[in-house]
Chain A
């Protein structure tokens, strides 16, 4: 493997890692605060992607306006998901039991199957994307042998902004303090005057809205998506959230960078020394070996306390 390949795989690994970090933010929030094991996470993100594609292709709306609509719809979908599926399971529960957590996993699994099949039925399995739309005047930037798509750069900028806003929301605002309090001890939170049900509903809204918004990042990074794209992003998000520590936004951002980098590098190495066709699936396996190692040796995550 030459130096050029090495540099290219590091740069692209990091570009993807930033996106992955932002995509995982919604999961670490809903899983960390409410113990909802959202195995439909990637599917929810695609809901955002498809909404933006639809608004752009069918109505000719600018992707930026579509993005704002996706954010607003995300808040609405979050309310619907909370009252429709989650409230009965976790709303009044103060100390989570394994049984309750399993129930959330199963209900989200059912939801993911339903939503994936709806994608296949209503949208179909052919790739969908923003076509020739690109960020800035050119579609690519060339730096020596490096070719970077401007859409990838936009995805990075938006990802960093999204993570920064979420981090500040949790660290600095009253709502953020309440969310962290409920995450640590819902009963103690209620005894200092916080309404846990309200906070759980708002957490769901934020998580789902942010996740649907991150669908735009996936769209920008991947160029085009199919319903099966979720099958890559859901498991990777779980790896990243565990690595970064449950409920830790900055942790999952760093986790995303690590996974992006590891994936990019191992893919390049496997392609050059072994078999290019095997590189993607094997690199994905390496990401999961990291999950296993984290759970075995550092179950609280890299930044967990």
Chain B
């Protein structure tokens, strides 16, 4: 068994009376792609927000490389080596693609250790890796949704993370763009030796790319395992379809 790079231990997060995460336990192993799936409102993005320091959980702990990071400010967690993209893209619109990516370098794991020209070079390399180098001097606001998603990925990669959190990077893209994005994710993962957690709704894509899948439902982990195992888990299919009989039919078909 490889070592866990990230451990989520008994994490509980409430919003008023709503329990968004209920004693969730997840281990993420070094070098894997973990798919995080579940119906809307299952707590996937909330979990990302807890890991990346946007939310402080009411209970439980998060460890990254053996160090507790629960409740640390987001910028510190980023500098330790966890970078993320957003479900709703948040590039800095008034800056160019290159500047956006440079910010990733300047404030990421290498913060304070790189000069402006080094940051520019590193940013260009990342843009080449994701195929956005042709648009380096364009304003981020001028990009298409697909390109903005890739830019967010580039900005996250520029921070030289060890763990990358991808929040629905495929949503709203057409099949060709999805294929392209998956290729970029796979390639960068190999090139940078990353561990990746991806929240995804595009099921065939995540089943295809992930080494393991965790399924959340109403803030609880209801299944975990290899994509095939999870796809045939009655609880999972039920959670998605909501109808036990229909679910049983689906599982049998497989």
The number of inter-chain residue pairs (CB within 8 angstroms) is 75
Closest chain-B Cβ to A264's Cβ sits at a distance in Å of: 32
The yes or no answer to B38 lying at the interface (CB within 8 A) is no
Residues of A with C-beta under 8 A to B141: 305
Minimal Cβ-Cβ distance residue in B for A190: B74
A174 touches B54 (CB 8 A): no
Closest chain-A Cβ to B24's Cβ sits at a distance in Å of: 21
Minimal Cβ-Cβ distance residue in A for B115: A174
Task: Give how many A residues have a beta carbon under 8 Å from the other chain's beta carbons.
Answer: 20
Partner of B54, one of A185, A191, A193, A305: A191
B92 touches A184 (CB 8 A): yes
Q: Mark A172-195, 1 if CB is under 8 A from B, else 0.
A: 111001101100110111111111
Q: Mark B102-119, 1 if CB is under 8 A from A, else 0.
A: 111011100100001000
The yes or no answer to B195 lying at the interface (CB within 8 A) is no
Residues of A with C-beta under 8 A to B83: 191-192
Q: Which of B46-95 contact A (CB under 8 A)?
A: 52-54, 73-76, 78-79, 83-84, 86, 90-95
Residues of A with C-beta under 8 A to B156: 192
Task: Give how many B residues have a beta carbon under 8 Å from the other chain's beta carbons.
Answer: 32
A177 touches B106 (CB 8 A): yes
The yes or no answer to B148 lying at the interface (CB within 8 A) is no
Residues of B with C-beta under 8 A to A177: 95, 99, 102-103, 106
Minimal Cβ-Cβ distance residue in B for A247: B94
B78 touches A172 (CB 8 A): no
Closest chain-B Cβ to A167's Cβ sits at a distance in Å of: 14
Q: Assess A184 versus B106: contact at CB under 8 Å? Given A177-B99, A190-B75.
A: no
Residues of B with C-beta under 8 A to A174: 106, 116
Residues of A with C-beta under 8 A to B92: 180-181, 184-185, 188-189
A191 touches B78 (CB 8 A): yes
Closest chain-A Cβ to B222's Cβ sits at a distance in Å of: 28
How far does the alpha carbon of A6 sit from the alpha carbon of B112 in the complex, in Å? 54
In the A-B complex, the 7 residue pairs with the closest CB atoms: A193-B107, A193-B78, A188-B90, A190-B74, A195-B75, A184-B92, A190-B75
20 pairs of residues in contact across A and B, judged by CB atoms under 8 Å: A174-B116, A177-B102, A178-B103, A178-B107, A180-B94, A181-B95, A184-B94, A188-B90, A189-B92, A190-B53, A191-B52, A191-B75, A192-B78, A192-B103, A192-B155, A193-B79, A193-B111, A194-B103, A194-B107, A195-B73
Residues of B within 8 A of A (CB): 52-54, 73-76, 78-79, 83-84, 86, 90-95, 99, 102-104, 106-108, 111, 116, 139, 141, 155-156, 159
Residues of A within 8 A of B (CB): 172-174, 177-178, 180-181, 184-185, 187-196, 305
